[in-house]
Structures are given as C-alpha cells and as structure tokens.
Amino acid sequence: MGNAIIKVNNLVKKYGDFEAVKGISFDVMEGEIFGLLGPNGAGKTTTLEIIETLRKKTSGEIIVDGKNLDNEPQAIKNIIGVQLQAAGYYPLLNLKQIIELFSGLYNKNVNALELLDTVNLREKAKSKFKELSGGQKQRFSIATTLINQPKIIFLDEPTTGLDPQARRNLWELIKDLRSRGATVVITTHYMDEAEELCERVAIIDSGQIIALSSPSELIDKLLATGFKRPKAVKEANLEDVFLNMTGKEWRDE
Ligand code: ATP
C-alpha cells in the first residue's frame, strides 16, 4: 500500500442551513479496503456520493487518482465503480442484458456471463432483477460496479439485509476484488464486517471524523483506557448455531 488514491480535504456539504458534512479530511490508500462508519445521518452517503461525482459539494477539495473533481469529473467517473440505483435495472431486461447495455454505454467489452460468475449469478442470467432474492440483488448490484473495470469500487451498505452466510460470501467477494488490485470504499453498520474487511476505518459522527485508524489500533486504544467487555457466558452464539446448521454455501439459488 503506497499512494493515496483518494484525497479529501476539508469537505463541507450543506443542505440549506444544515451542515451535514463539516470539513472532513481523509486519504484512501491505493489497494486498501477503507470503511466509513457512523450512526444514521452521520454523513457517510453524502460523502461517498460527492466523491462519486453524484452530489455537489459545498466546499473542499477532492482528488481521485490524481484528478481534481472540480475539473475532471468525467475522468473520475471512468475509473470508479458505483452501485446502480434500482432505477438503472431496466425492468424489461434480464441480468445479462443489463450488463451488456451498460458495457456498451461504458464502451467496454465485458463478458456478461463471466461477470455474473464472479458473483455466482450465472444461473440467473435470464432472470429479471425483480425476480432475485435480497442477497442475489446485492450481488448483482456489486457486479454492476465492475462493468467498467474500475480502479476504485464504492459500496454503500452492501450486506444490509443479508443472511449470515450471504454476508460472509460477500466478504469473500469483496476481498477478492481487492486481491485483484481494486481499492474499495465501503460503508457498513456491521462492526464485525468492518473489522473483518477494512485495513482502516473512519468513524464519522454528525458530519465530523472522530477517529481514523485500523480496527486493531482503535480496539487497542479503547483497551488502553481500561475498557473491558463483559465476559461472554458461552463460547458460541446464536449466529454460530445458525451457520453451523445451515452451512456456508450460497443458498439462495
Ligand atoms: P445512514 O447510515 O442512515 O445511511 P448517512 O451517514 O449515510 O446515514 P447521509 O445520508 O449522508 O447520512 O445524511 C446526512 C445528513 O444529511 C442527514 O441528517 C440527512 O437527513 C441529511 N440529508 C441527506 N440528504 C439530504 C438532502 N438531499 N436534503 C437535505 N438533507 C439531506
């Protein structure tokens, strides 16, 4: 991990009089999985969508892969992968056709079935988006971020609503994207997920970054204050029972 592929400097976003993002600064390093954590309404999606060129900032500077967002938004769009909003999943097209449509728009030559393979959805190539289960929809939405072979992938709560195995399988998929060289920026409300996936996390609260470090360093810092978690009474929990009984394979086919 070497260079900062995203630089955010003093970013402010106001909605009318309300300041949702209050001058935050952070770097995302090339090749890392970087997490944005924080309570509902903290400003995570706003921050992501500004970097993705989908929302206008009020002030501040953003550089993505050496390109200034103010001058070269299109160049930034070309190298990032963003989950399509549901409206992008044309209801009359099947999954393969949607991928082919977008590859055409991006001017990329993508093998739709191979791409569906990477998210374990080849069997559903002829299905419509609305016919998919929740987990399959999330996986398809991740596949759509890969169509333009991006350097940076943005995932906004990609595992919300998924069952425990499906979440773990998506974690493997996200790690796989990183091992193929992508940088991943992810928001999540699941701290186990952030701990498992992220090299570094920024914790945002009320529009400000209140911590930025690796999960392990943040935990050590808390422990150094004398914090002790109440001891678990049993050495397994209900999630362990669930996973042990239902297995770890993709199950929603
Ligand atoms: P969540 O975890 O609930 O998704 P978030 O951290 O992603 O939250 P944002 O969606 O960025 O939070 O919202 C930050 C704040 O800005 C919230 O108070 C929200 O109500 C406000 N906000 C977001 N979008 C708009 C908008 N288009 N107009 C006015 N206020 C907005």
Per-residue pLDDT reduced to its tens digit, 104-149? 888 888 999 999 988 889 999 999 999 998 888 888 998 999 988 8
- In this structure, of 35-39, 130-134, 182-186, 215-219, the range with the lowest mean pLDDT score is 130-134
Strand (E) or helix (H) holding 151: none
* Whether residue 44 has its Cβ less than 6 Å from ligand 1: yes
Q: Could you tell me the end-to-end alpha-carbon distance of the chain, in angstroms, rounded to an integer?
A: 37
Of the listed ranges 16-25, 216-225, 237-246, the least confidently predicted one is 237-246
Verify whether ligand 1 is closer than 6 Å to residue 90 (CB atom).
no
Strands 80-82 and 67-68: unpaired
Q: Which of 125, 177, 189 is nearest to 151 (CA)?
A: 177
pLDDT tens for each residue of 70-114: 999 999 999 999 887 666 688 899 999 999 998 988 888 899 999
**Minimal-distance CA residue to ligand 1 atom 26:** 15
What span, in angstroms and rounded, lies between the C-alpha atoms of 120 and 69? 34
| C-alpha of residue 188 to centroid of ligand 1, in Å | 15
Helix (H, G, I), strand (E, B) or coil at 96: helix
Compute the distance from residue 21 Cα to the ligand 1 centre, in Å.
Answer: 9
For the chain, percent of residues with pLDDT exceeding 90? 66
Q: How many degrees, rounded to 5, is the angle at CA 83 between CA 82 and CA 85? A: 120
Give SS3 for 125: coil
SS3 content of the chain, % helix, strand, coil (to 5): 40, 25, 35
Asked if pLDDT for residue 251 goes beyond 70, the answer is no
| pLDDT (mean) for 242-248 | 82
| pLDDT given for residue 237 in this prediction | 87
Q: What type of residue is 134?
A: G
Q: How many CB atoms lie within 10 A of CB 204?
A: 25
Average of per-residue pLDDT values in the chain: 91
* Whole-number pLDDT of residue 220: 94
C-alpha 252 – ligand 1 centre gap (Å): 32
